[in-house]
Chains A and B, each alone.
Chain A
């Protein structure tokens, strides 16, 4: 089954304790992306990647890091989490071929709810 898998689905942690949210897709997609969803603000893009070793900032990259060492994986790293990073996070992927990366429909994971105390 084609899917984007995020782990963990829920996490409560404390300020300053480094954490990683993993994202894996099994569709051989080139484009992967991370979003956060906050009330009243919709979905905002954090980082995206057009292929292995190619990453770029979205609209809200501060406080986050990503890496794309393999095509299927795109982990989101919070080196020193703070309470304002409490949010619902989504990873997504799309084929990224045939002209344009971000205009192709993206497949989303089911989300990771992070609470940072």
Chain B
């Protein structure tokens, strides 16, 4: 039972344009979400997070949007740069009382120069 889903295994975007990565979840008890970025031969690194009390969180070129009614979040990267080429994972902790962390299957983003 995949509680956190990333339905697009890959995405290609031209440099300078907007990249939009999507994530859906099934457990309405999830109240916090994180995005991680992973380069080949390295461990994932934290990118940005959002609490369910917000519907948007911004950090430089990265913005995460949360739509609780649709159980959907998206990561926007504007403008996209070649160094953004990586695999992106969304993750959901918990829910409350449970300290597990559930990751999505990942989306491989390729930025075309």
A, B from the same assembly = yes
> What is the interface of chain A, defined by CB distance below 8 A to chain B?
4, 31, 33, 35, 40-45, 48, 50, 56, 58-59, 90, 92, 100-103, 105-111
- Identify the closest chain B residue to A41 (Cβ): B105
| Residues of A contacting B45 in the complex (Cβ-Cβ under 8 angstroms) | 108
User: What is the distance, in angstroms, from B88's C-beta to the closest C-beta of chain A?
Assistant: 11
Give chain B interface residues in 42-95, CB to chain A under 8 Å: 42-46, 49, 89, 91, 93-94
- Decide: A90 near B32, CB < 8 A? Known: A42-B103, A102-B99, A105-B49: no
Q: In whole angstroms, how far apart are the Cα atoms of A59 and B93 in the complex? A: 12
Q: How many residues of B contact A (CB 8 A)?
A: 23
Q: Cβ of B105 and Cβ of A56 under 8 Å apart?
A: no
Instruction: Confirm or deny: B101 has a beta carbon within 8 angstroms of a beta carbon on chain A.
Output: yes
| Residues of B contacting A107 in the complex (Cβ-Cβ under 8 angstroms) | 43, 46
Most buried by A among B45, B89, B100, B105: B100
- Identify the closest chain A residue to B96 (Cβ): A100
Q: Cβ of B101 and Cβ of A100 under 8 Å apart?
A: no
| Residues of B contacting A43 in the complex (Cβ-Cβ under 8 angstroms) | 44, 89, 91, 103, 106
- Identify the closest chain B residue to A38 (Cβ): B105
| Residues of B contacting A50 in the complex (Cβ-Cβ under 8 angstroms) | 99
| Residues of B contacting A33 in the complex (Cβ-Cβ under 8 angstroms) | 101
Q: Cβ of A100 and Cβ of B93 under 8 Å apart?
A: yes
Q: Cβ of A35 and Cβ of B100 under 8 Å apart?
A: no
| Residues of B contacting A111 in the complex (Cβ-Cβ under 8 angstroms) | 41-43
Q: Cβ of B100 and Cβ of A110 under 8 Å apart?
A: no
Q: In whole angstroms, how far apart are the Cα atoms of A56 and B44 in the complex? A: 22
- Decide: A59 near B89, CB < 8 A? Known: A103-B49, A111-B43: no
Instruction: Confirm or deny: B34 has a beta carbon within 8 angstroms of a beta carbon on chain A.
Output: yes
Q: Cβ of A103 and Cβ of B41 under 8 Å apart?
A: no
- Decide: A102 near B105, CB < 8 A? Known: A90-B43, A109-B43: no
Q: In whole angstroms, how far apart are the Cα atoms of A58 and B91 in the complex? A: 14
User: What is the distance, in angstroms, from B57's C-beta to the closest C-beta of chain A?
Assistant: 13
- Identify the closest chain A residue to B45 (Cβ): A108
- Identify the closest chain B residue to A6 (Cβ): B43
